Amino acid sequence: MEQGANEQHPAMMKIALLSISTVLTSSIAIAASIPDWLKAFPQQSRANVELLGTLPSLTVIICMLLSSWVAKKIGTRRTILMGLLIAGTFGIIPVFFSNYYVLFFARLGLGAGFGLINSLAVSLIGTFFTGQEKANLMGYRGSCEMLGNALCTYVAGQLLVHVGWHSSFWVYALSFPLAILYFLYVPEPAPSKEADGTPHKESINSKVFFWTLILIICQMAYTGSTLRISELVTSYHIGSLNGIAIVLSFAPACGVISEIFFGRLLHGMGTFLLPVTIFCTGLSQLLIAFSNNFVLTSIGFLATSMISGLVISYILNLASDICETNSLNLTTSLMLVGCNIGPFLSPIVLGWLNSAFGANNLRLSYDVFGVILLGMGIVMVFLSKSMSASYAKNENENGGLTHVDE
C-alpha cells in the first residue's frame, strides 16, 4: 500500500517512523569496552582496536549512498526492514565470538544495516508530512537519535561492568522489535516525481561540500574524544571505569538538551551561533586535556557532547538554503555522509598523531583538536559576519522574506 500518511494509526505510524532513529547513532555505544578490547586483542595495535569502534561508519557511508538506489529497486519499506534486520543480526555477533576478525566483519555488517536506513529515516518525514508537523517531527527525530544513543550507551556500560564486554553488544538486538513496529504501522510511500512525471534530477554545489567538510572535522574531534575518554580516565587514575561509563551514557542526553534550545539559540544569535559553538567545543577539549580531576574531565566531555549537537543541527539546518533546486535529499545525504566520515577517520587520525609526535600520550588528541577547533571558531567569526551581511541584504531585497518553504 502506498500513501502519504497512515490514516488508521496516525499516532503509531509517527512513533514507528521516529523509533527507527533510536539505533542509528548507537555504533559507538560500546565505546566504554575499548580498554577491555585492548586486553582481549594484545596482538593488535591500539589504532586497530579503536578502529572497531568506528568501523561501522565506513559501511554506513557506502550503504547510505546506495540506499536510494536499493529503495527504488525493492521499495523504501523493504529497504528499511532489511537494514534493521541486518543491523540486529550483525550487531549481536560479537556476543558469541572473541576473534578480532569476526568482530571486524560484524561491525562492517552493523554499519551496512544502519546505512540503508539513515538517510531514509530523515527523508521519509518530509515525504509523509508537511508544514509545522514536519518541522516538529524533524526535531523529535534528532531527539530520538540522542535518547536512543543514551539508552544504548547506558545499557552497554552496565552490561560491560556487571557481565563482560561481550554482553554489551546485546544492545543492538533492539533493531528486531523496531523492525516489527515499522512493519506493522509504516506504509510504503508514493514515489516522488516532477510535475511532468519524470524523476527528480539532483546536483551538488561547492557550498554543500564546504559545510560537509566542517561536519567531518567536528565529528572527527567529537568521536576521538569519545574513543579515548575511557582509557584516559582509567590509565591516568582520574576515575573508575564504572564512573566514566555512566558519564558516557549521560552524554547523549546533553545533546537532547541542546537540541531543545537550538531554535531559540539560532533566533537569538543567528549566524554567530556556529563560531561560538565551535570555539566552546575547542575549550571543552582543552579542559579534558589539562584536567586531572574526574569532575572537570566529565564536565569537559559532557560539554563537548552538548555543543557538538548544536554544530550538527546548525549545518543541517542550512541544507535547504544552500542546496540546488530539487536537491535537498542529495544534499542531506552528503552531509550525513560527512557525519560518518569523521567518526571513521577519527581512530586513523589519532594513530597518526601519536606516530607523528612520537608519543603515546592519551591527552595529545585533546590538545590538537582543541587548538584546531579554537582556530576554526575564530575564522568562523569572520565568515559569520559576511553571512550576516548577506542575510540582511537578502532580507532588504525581498521585503523581509528570507526563507521559502519547499
Please calculate the CA angle 156-161-167 and round it to the nearest 5 degrees: 50
What is the model's pLDDT at position 358? 65
What is the model's pLDDT at position 398? 43
What is the model's pLDDT at position 405? 34
Query: Are domains 10-191 and 200-395 of this chain identical in fold?
Result: yes
What is the model's pLDDT at position 135? 59
- Structure-block grid coordinates of residue 55: 568501523
**CATH number of the domain located at residue range(s) 10-191 in this protein:** 1.20.1250.20
What is the model's pLDDT at position 4? 47
Q: Distance between CA atoms of 395 and 270, rounded to whole angstroms? A: 14
- Structure-block grid coordinates of residue 20: 527507527
What is the model's pLDDT at position 9? 46
What is the model's pLDDT at position 106? 94
- Structure-block grid coordinates of residue 205: 554545489
| Domain ranges (residues) in the chain | 10-191, 200-395
What is the model's pLDDT at position 348? 81
Total residue length of the chain: 406
Q: Distance between CA atoms of 100 and 47, rounded to whole angstroms? A: 13
What are residue 188's DSSP bridge partners? Answer: 2
Residue with the three cell numbers 535547504: 320
**DSSP for 334-381?**
HHHHHHHHHHHHHHHHHHHHHHHTT---TTHHHHHHHHHHHHHHHHHH
**DSSP for 318-338?**
THHHHSPTT-HHHHHHHHHHH
What is the model's pLDDT at position 191? 63
What is the model's pLDDT at position 201? 63
Q: Distance between CA atoms of 275 and 377, rounded to whole angstroms? A: 4
| Helices of type H across 75-99 | 76-91
Max CA-CA distance within the chain?
66
* CATH level 2 (architecture), domain 200-395: Up-down Bundle (1.20)
Residue with the three cell numbers 540582511: 392
What is the model's pLDDT at position 385? 57
Which of 49, 26, 23, 22 minimizes the C-alpha distance to 230?
Answer: 49
Contacts made by residues 284-287, CB under 8 angstroms, sequence distance 24+ = 284/370, 285/221, 285/225, 285/366, 285/367, 285/369, 285/370, 285/373, 286/366, 286/367, 286/370, 286/371, 286/374
**DSSP for 244-268?**
HHHHHHHHHHHHHHHHHHHHHHHHH
Q: Distance between CA atoms of 329 and 333, rounded to whole angstroms? A: 6
Q: Can you list the residues of the chain whose pLDDT is less than 70?
A: 1-9, 126, 130-132, 134-136, 138-139, 190-203, 320, 325-329, 358-359, 384-406
